[in-house]
């Protein structure tokens, strides 16, 4: 479980995360949505301990996140940053194995875990020796996901993992990611600015605007009980595209 209590962050005098209190339930996916600049990435970066809040408290797996505890707690979290963040001078294999090598995993253990991940993400083994620039956008995202999952963290944080992909590859990866989330049953927080995508991946959706949470709940709550005019507008903009998406595993949206 992840718990945020009255968390705020300012950059250059602007409050980009403003008094956010939020509980993220374990073993399920939560989508963090909102327009560009609403503070989603900053919130994720604070949860993973890379950005320090100015105010408030964050607890990860019942441990208080502090500059001292951050490094240890980060081991519980796999983090996929926007655009994947792969090291361009390392092959796909080296990118994926990076943390396991640093942690001192022997070669057999790394190979066994890599094999599981290749199956999970449907990544072709023969592409492991390629560099990120030699992979397609969708393959790069699969590599970034494998890297985040290598140490089998309890929590998976993904910042716009599908943002830069063309629509067909995006739809493929949406299907695969939804299936992976359902299979792994990890605590997943996925950032998107797309309501349709949020509804596809996550039972629980948290909508942010200007650094604040304006509403949280299921997709239907946003449609049937919008908390304010902004939610209605956001839903209207998103719903036009929702009918284009396949149903998630289990059927209901």
Ligand X SMILES: Nc1ncnc2c1ncn2[C@@H]1O[C@H](COP(=O)(O)OP(=O)(O)OP(=O)(O)O)[C@@H](O)[C@H]1O
Q: 213: exposed, middle or buried (C-beta count within 10 Å: 0-12, 13-18, 19+)?
A: buried
Q: Does 13 bind ligand X (CB under 6 A)?
A: no
The residues, ordered by sequence, that sit 6+ positions from 78 with a Cβ below 8 Å of its Cβ are 147, 148, 149, 150, 151, 153, 155, 156, 157
CA dist., res. 173 & res. 176, Å (int): 5
CA dist., res. 80 & res. 148, Å (int): 6
Query: Which one of 11-19, 109-117, 138-146, 226-234 is the stretch in contact with ligand X (CB under 6 A)?
Result: 11-19
Which lies closer to ligand X via its Cβ, residue 39 or residue 199? 39
- Minimum distance of ligand X from residue 68's CB (angstroms): 22
The alpha carbon dihedral of 88, 165, 222, 199 has a sign of negative
Single residue of 113, 147, 193, 204 touching ligand X by CB under 6 A: 193
Looking from the CA of 120 toward its CB, the CA atoms found within 13 Å total: 22
Q: Does 87 bind ligand X (CB under 6 A)?
A: no
Query: Which one of 9-17, 68-76, 112-120, 179-187 is the stretch in contact with ligand X (CB under 6 A)?
Result: 9-17
Q: Does 237 bind ligand X (CB under 6 A)?
A: no
Q: Does 139 bind ligand X (CB under 6 A)?
A: no
DSSP string, 70-119: HHHHHTTEEEE-TT----TTS-HHHHHHHHHHHHT--HHHHHHHHHHHHH
**What residues from 29 to 48 belong to the interface with ligand X (CB under 6 A)?**
34, 36-42
- Minimum distance of ligand X from residue 250's CB (angstroms): 28
Q: Does 8 bind ligand X (CB under 6 A)?
A: no
- Minimum distance of ligand X from residue 186's CB (angstroms): 22
Which lies closer to ligand X via its Cβ, residue 34 or residue 53? 34
Which lies closer to ligand X via its Cβ, residue 39 or residue 238? 39
Please calculate the CA angle 94-109-114 and round it to the nearest 5 degrees: 50
Q: Does 243 bind ligand X (CB under 6 A)?
A: no
Binding site for ligand X (CB under 6 A): 11-12, 16, 34, 36-42, 193
């Amino acid at each position: 479980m992840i718990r945020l209590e009255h968390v705020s962050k300012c950059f250059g005098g602007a409050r980009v995360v403003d008094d956010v209190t939020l509980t993220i339930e374990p073993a399920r996916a939560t989508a963090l949505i909102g327009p560009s600049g609403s503070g989603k990435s900053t919130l994720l970066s604070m949860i993973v301990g890379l950005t320090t809040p100015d105010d408030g408290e964050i607890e990860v797996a019942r441990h208080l996140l502090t500059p001292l505890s951050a490094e240890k707690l980060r081991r519980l979290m796999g983090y996929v940053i926007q655009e994947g963040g792969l090291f361009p001078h390392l092959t796909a294999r080296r990118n994926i194995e990076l943390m396991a090598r640093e942690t001192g995993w022997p070669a057999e253990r790394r190979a066994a875990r890599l094999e599981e991940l290749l199956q999970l993400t449907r990544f072709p083994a023969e592409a492991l020796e390629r560099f990120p620039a030699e992979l397609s956008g969708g393959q790069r995202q699969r590599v970034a996901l494998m890297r985040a999952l290598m140490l089998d963290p309890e929590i998976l944080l993904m910042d716009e993992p599908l943002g830069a992909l063309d629509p067909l590859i995006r739809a493929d990866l949406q299907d695969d990611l939804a299936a992976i989330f359902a299979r792994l049953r990890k605590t997943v927080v996925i950032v998107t600015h797309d309501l349709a995508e949020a509804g596809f991946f996550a039972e629980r959706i948290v909508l942010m605007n200007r650094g604040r949470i304006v509403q949280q709940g299921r997709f239907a709550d946003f449609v049937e009980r919008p908390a304010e005019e902004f939610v209605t507008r956001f839903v209207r903009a998103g719903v036009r595209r929702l009918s284009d998406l396949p149903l998630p595993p289990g059927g209901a949206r």
